[in-house]
Amino acid sequence: MPEKRLKSWGNNRAGELGDGTWTDFRTTATTVLGLTSAEVVKMAAGGAGAAHGHGLASLTGHTVQSWGSNGSEQLGDRTVFSDSAPGQVMKPSHATPTSLRAAPTA
DSSP calls for 23-66: -SEEEEEEEEEEEETTTEEEEEEE-SSTT--EEEEEETTTEEEE
Band (4; pLDDT cuts 50, 70, 90): confident
Please state, in angstroms and as integers, the Cα–Cα distance from residue 33 to each residue in 17, 19, 105, following that order: 9, 5, 23
Write the pLDDT tens digit of every residue in 17-29: 999 999 889 999 9
Q: Which residue has the higher pLDDT, 5 or 30?
A: 30
Q: Which residue has the higher pLDDT, 95 or 8?
A: 8
pTM: 0.85
Which residues are paired to 40 by β-bridges?
A: 59
Write the pLDDT tens digit of every residue in 29-82: 999 999 888 888 888 888 766 557 899 999 988 889 999 999 888 899 999 999
Angle at 80 between CA 29 and CA 16, to 5 degrees: 5
